[in-house]
Structure 1
């Protein structure tokens, strides 16, 4: 029975893996310079309907992704005095994910460079948004739990 159960799980996994797409799981992000106070960055994100912050240099090049867990850890009354740079994780090449990545290739990319958030970029290098590992995990679990697969 165990072998049959594993076979069914693997079949379900193969069927639903292509549904995991970086582009559809990505959170909209706003670019902010490193000295921007957290309160101002969050105001801009809220105004733009974004759920993520990307730290950029003066030329707009991405330098880091502000960690969601770090934002939550800053009391609201302190946010005007906390620069986003202190809450950001510096970007490595492995943390830049092409927007077109999907399925097993996406999971392999995330496994190769473990992080809580990734910068999602277009082929042109333009910022598309931020991919949260938690969002990918939720989508994966949801896909695996779908009946009829």
Structure 2
């Protein structure tokens, strides 16, 4: 009677633990399989350099003309100093954009916000975890601006890769 019910309950609990552990193992294996598919170069948005005082409307016009989706603030020598946050651009009403300097919407660059265009997989994720930010400046090996990497784009690519069946 009671011993049989207890045995059945313990067996069900044990089966649940084993099932959960097996599912987690499969997810980790899938994660490891798809990590190499993450490439900073492939996920980077094209960016154009603009100076600090450039009106936002003009900076956006130049970006649209160049087919770019991001703005990088540069100093007089062309060295990057900040990234204009996408969320900040969206918060400025269109009629105010001619009077707002692009530089006022920028986040100052730190060393951790600079990413090599050649980073892939686990190295890329480790870098993003070490220095959390919403956007990163992606640089070529020679230090030239390649573009801007959004953590949202990395997350979307990762979810898409994880949704594909294993090979």
TM-score bracket for this pair, using the shorter chain length: over 0.9
In structure 2, runs of 5+ residues without a counterpart are: 1-18
Q: Report the Cα distance in structure 2 between the residues aligned to 1:121 and 1:42, rounded to whole angstroms.
A: 21
Q: Report the Cα distance in structure 1 between the residues aligned to 2:99 and 2:22, rounded to whole angstroms.
A: 57
Q: 3-state DSSP class of the match of 2:162?
A: helix
| Correspondence for 2:59 | 41
Q: Report the Cα distance in structure 1 between the residues aligned to 2:32 and 2:67, rounded to whole angstroms.
A: 34
Q: Does 1:28 align with 2:54?
A: no
Structure 1 vs Structure 2 CA RMSD = 0.6
Q: Report the Cα distance in structure 2 between the residues aligned to 1:3 and 1:145, rounded to whole angstroms.
A: 20
> Which structure has more RCO (C-alpha within 8 Å, separation ≥ 6)?
1
- Between Structure 1 and Structure 2, the one with more helix by share is 2
| Correspondence for 1:120 | 138
Q: Report the Cα distance in structure 2 between the residues aligned to 1:64 and 1:141, rounded to whole angstroms.
A: 28
**Deviation beyond 3 Å, 4+ runs, structure 1:** none
TM-score computed with the length of structure 1 as normaliser: 0.99
Q: Which protein shows a greater Rg?
A: 2
1:129 shift after superposition: 0.2
1:147 shift after superposition: 1.7
1:148 shift after superposition: 3.0
TM-score computed with the length of structure 2 as normaliser: 0.88
Q: Report the Cα distance in structure 1 between the residues aligned to 2:166 and 2:50, rounded to whole angstroms.
A: 44
In structure 1, runs of 5+ residues without a counterpart are: none
Q: Does 1:134 align with 2:152?
A: yes
